[in-house]
Every structure is written in C-alpha cells, then in structure tokens.
Amino acid sequence: MSHEKPSGKIARWLAAAPAPAFVLYAVAASFSAYFCMYAFRKPFTAAQYSGERLGEVELKTALVISQIFGYAVSKFLGIKVCSEATRNRRARTMVLLVLWAEAALVLFAVVPPPLKVVAIFLNGLPLGMVWGLVVWYLEGRRTSELLLAGLSCSFIVASGAVKDVGRLLISRLAVPEVWMPALTGLLFLPVFLVSVWLLNQVPPPSAADAAARVLREPMDAGSRRSFLRAFLPGIVLLVVAYFFLTAYRDFRDNYAVEIAGDLGLGSDSTVLTRMELIVAFAVIVPLALLVLVRDNRAGLLGAYGIMTLGVALLGAVTLAFDAGHVSGFWWLTLVGLGAYLAYVPYGSVLFDRLMASTRFVGTAVFAIYVADAIGYCGSVLVQLGKDFGWKDISRLEFLRGFTYFMSALGLACLLGSCLYFHRVSTRRQEPSEGSQHDSMA
C-alpha cells in the first residue's frame, strides 16, 4: 500500500519535524482529547445517590452496571467500526460519538430514576469507540511507546480529576446530582473539539515507521479471522486475565469515593486526583522506556514484564496493608498502580509490539477491541456478583479479596501467554512472501 501524504500546513510541518517536537504535539493532542472524553463518562460516579434504590439494587450500582453494559456493547461494535475506520472518518466520528454521550447525560437529568438507567446506558454506548479512534493516530510508529504511554496517562488522571470536578460542582456550586454529569461534560466540550481537530493533523506513519513496526492497515472480516486463527491460544490467555483485570480496575474506579471514605479519606476533596497523578507518573515511565528497545520481540517481553510486575504488586501491597505496614491512602494508590501497570499495556504497547514482532499486517486496534469487548463483560458480571453474591460485605472488603484473586490469576495467565508469544514471534521473524496477512503454519 502506498503511504498517505500529509495534507495541511500543520500535518506537513509535523511530517518533517524533529522526533521530540512530533512526540510532544501528538501526546498533547491525544491526551487532551481522551482526557476530555472522560468528562462525559465518569462524572456521574462522583455522586453517591444515597438511599436511592431500584428494587434490590442500589441506584448507583444500577447506573454503573448500565453504563458498563453500554460501554461493553460499544466495544463489540468497535471491533468492526474502529478496525475498519479510514482516516477521513475518524475525527468526525469521534465528535458525533461525544455529542451523543452529552445528549444522553441531559436525558439522564430529566427522566425519572428507572429511566436514568436507560439514559446512562445510552451514554456508555458511543464512548467505548473513542479509544480505538485515537489509537489509530499513534500506533505503528517508531515512537509509539512514548505516544501510547502519554495517551494512557489521560484516563488514569482523568478518572480522578473529573470526579473531583463533579464533587466540587455539587459541594461548592450546589449543582443537583442529576445535572452535575451533563454540566461537567459541557465544561469540557470546547476543549475536546479543539483537541480532536489538532489530533487529526497528525500525519500517517512514514515509510521508515512501517519498516520498523510493520505496515498498519484497516482489517476486513477475513483478516480479523486470520489473526485470531494464527494466535488463538495466546489471545485466550490474555483475554481471561483482561476479563477480570477490567472488572478489578472498574470496581476500584467506580467506587473510589466510597472506598476512600471507608479508609477515612472521604473529607479530602482532592485525594482521588492526587492518587491518580502518582499512578500515572509511575505507569508512564516504564512504558515510555520501551521506546529504547528496538527489537520488537524484546519489546514484547518488556511489555509482559511490566504487566507481570503489576499483578504481583497487587498481592504484595495487600499483604502489607493487612499486616499494618501500609496506610489506607498508599494501599488504594498502590493497588491502582498495580492494576494500571497490567491494564494499560493492553490498550497500547502490548498489541502494537505483538503486531510488529509477529509481522502481521493489520491494526493493533482490532486486538485491543477484542480484549476490551470481553473485558467489559467481566466488569458487568463482577458488579452484579458483588451486589447479589457478596452484598453483606463492604466494597472495601470486596476489593481486598478481589485483589488477591486478581494477583494469582493474572500471574498464571500472563506468564503462560508470554511464553506462547515468545515462541511464536521467534518462529515468525520474517513475513511470508506473497501473503499480506501472514498466517502461522
């Protein structure tokens, strides 16, 4: 395939710019765009909706599950939509998806409680596709680790920051809980629109990028099936770990306000932002350092090493917390760090390096969305399991037990998958001649 030529003054400047200038621009634009998206997704979790129920389920739990379900459906839709998206449609699609989400938040504010669950489902339905559309601009480059690490920090920081904005709107400006999510989104909408325009100026990967990281192309149904047939055992192990990891990360994130309160941290209005800033910095450094690893197989092993360290940290820090050696603030921060060290590479460097090391022509966005679609199903099931199977224990106690389980399962699945892909990538050092979508013998 011939490489697209950049059009527009900014795109042409970026194509010829020194690598540090290009990285700084692309990280800033992608970080800002995805950070702002979180202002449409997460603010509703800053409210507690105390005492409100829908049948046997707390209203907040019903809302969280409904949005996750919409987000999961969005990920399944994204397997096709995002993997097939052409450059000309990406920016326009992102804007339309976020406007849909904001309209759903306005609906959330005006309908009665039973229909709020429907409104928040409609809010989640478009947002799950935004990540893949942003990643398309960054993957397949020699600097992809830096770009994707910077992007990944956006949702770590944004989750705590937009919840703190929501809490301030309620506590300082007396904004009603039901209107707070829509107002938060509206505050961030102008910045989102500018960010998407700037991101769309990023030129496509160069010929040198393609030579180093394999050409990236949209994938039709046939190439998607070829990818899964070629790597099914390793993908299954990765997806099993991600099924529970997504649920773990979402549970900690969605109930951070309540868990922090149980730990005696509820009076600090900026505690969540401070936690996630620590986590973001600690995650971005090792991921960004992978850019120094030129060999793609070694880079894939490096990504697995970071992920394995993350799930090991979950168990280790919880043992220390139970023994009284770690405070509540640092326990909640460090289990967040462990979770994100394991979680973030799935949506960024893991599949980018996997495509490069196996020489498979396609897009990492497809593999990301297969994992995401299944992962968010796990999040829904764990939320339901807590309310129906473990309804008599606090969310803090549930998270503690879940942490030990996640640590053990994650170690087993990640080590098994790592060994599989190391063997496969060693056998597939050169692409097969005459085949665009190389399949394993």
Q: So what's the pLDDT on residue 307?
A: 96
Helix (H, G, I), strand (E, B) or coil at 261: helix
- d(CA 219, CA 205) in angstroms, rounded, equals 17
- How buried is residue 88: exposed, middle or buried, by Cβ count under 10 Å (0-12/13-18/19+)? exposed
Can you tell me the mean pLDDT for 182-209? 93
Summarised one tens digit per residue, pLDDT across range 388-421 is 788 788 989 999 999 999 999 999 999 999 999 9
- d(CA 385, CA 329) in angstroms, rounded, equals 26
Tokens matching residue 315: 């168990």
- d(CA 122, CA 108) in angstroms, rounded, equals 9
Residue 26 confidence (pLDDT) above 90: yes
Can you tell me the mean pLDDT for 137-155? 85
Summarised one tens digit per residue, pLDDT across range 58-71 is 788 888 889 988 98
All structural domains of the chain: 9-427 (1.20.1250.20)
Q: So what's the pLDDT on residue 96?
A: 96
Q: So what's the pLDDT on residue 439?
A: 37
Residue 438 confidence (pLDDT) above 50: no
Exposure on the CB side of residue 433, measured as CA atoms within 13 A: 0
Q: What is the mean pLDDT of the chain?
A: 87
CA 271 to each of CA 187, 322, 406: distance values in angstroms, whole numbers, following the listed order? 22, 22, 25
Q: What is the pTM of this model?
A: 0.75
